Amino acid sequence: SSADRYAVFGHPIAHSKSPIIHTLFAEQTGERLTYTAQDVPPETFETEVRAFFAGGGKGLNCTVPLKELAWKIADHRSQRAELSRAVNTLALRPDGTIYGDNTDGIGLVRDLTVNLGLTLKGLRILLLGAGGASRGVIKPLLEHGPAHLVIANRTPEKAFQLADEFGDLGLIKGCGFSDLGTESFDLILNATAASLAGEVPALPKNILQTGGYCYDLAYGSEPTPFVLWGRDAGAAVSVDGLGMLVEQAAEAFQIWRGIRPETRPVIDALKSREHPC
Ligand code: SKM
């Protein structure tokens, strides 16, 4: 029989490292599959998803700007997909229905705690941005018992709303970027949509606790502007979301194939591709 087919849909998609990640996972686990990237604009998303599965495709990842549409197209969803109201992983079930999950939040927390070795308990965390990327990571972060979580957004109302929605889960509040400055944080996470266009919110440097951590949920082959900001602000660790990308992929791979690949060798391989010596 031929290899099972998987793909990532996004718009744009050329930058995606998902095909190489899943190809490395398949080699490592001995699973036979192909994984490609396809540029799919929102207008044709539903048609392309149906065509992919009708043509024998087994699973999809969906990235910007398709995650809310992927949520809508799913016939069943995990609890974490419901909470984030976004889906990055679709799987075709044997009965022909589509299952939707969101592996981004668990991917972030695994990268922070397992790969970077951070203890989130007791940390003062600042989350920049109140869009889809933030929504998916709030619950997994709160489950690790931070001292508190502040969500800051250019439009403060969106941050208030998000804080309100997750309010019963712990100490969480929303504010505008301009309200920041009186308090410092141990961990700053950048989940703004503007960062995809290379923009960083204007933050006071002393907002980062000396020796604190900066983490950009976006990834790129160059250090992102936020990663550079963190280094400049004296962060002990300032990294992009490559580790999160590999971890969310491992979780998707497990949903599809029932086997969990090791992430460390794949993260190392991707890093050495970026900085060949
Ligand atoms: O959630 C992930 C998605 O599964 C794949 C991806 C990519 O290929 O760049 C990025 C994230 O949105």
In this prediction, the residues of the chain whose per-residue pLDDT falls under 70 are: 1, 168-170, 275-277
ipTM for the whole complex: 0.99
CA 62–ligand 1 middle distance (angstroms)? 6
Residues 6+ apart with CB under 8 A from 19: 8, 35, 36, 37
Residue nearest to atom 5 of ligand 1 (CA): 63
CA 217–ligand 1 middle distance (angstroms)? 11
Question: pLDDT (tens digit, 9 = 90+) per residue, 253-275?
Answer: 999 999 999 999 999 999 988 76
pTM, 2 dp:
0.95
51 token code pair: 């065509």
Question: pLDDT (tens digit, 9 = 90+) per residue, 24-68?
Answer: 999 999 999 999 999 999 999 999 999 999 999 999 999 999 999
Q: Ligand 1: which of 9, 36, 40, 61 to mutate, most ligand atoms within 8 Å of CB? A: 61
pLDDT at 197: 76
pLDDT at 194: 77
* Residue 67 annotated to the active site: yes
Strands (E), the chain: 4-10, 33-39, 57-62, 76-77, 89-92, 98-101, 124-128, 148-153, 172-176, 185-190, 208-216, 237-239
Which domains are present in the chain?
Answer: 4-102 (3.40.50.10860), 105-242 (3.40.50.720)
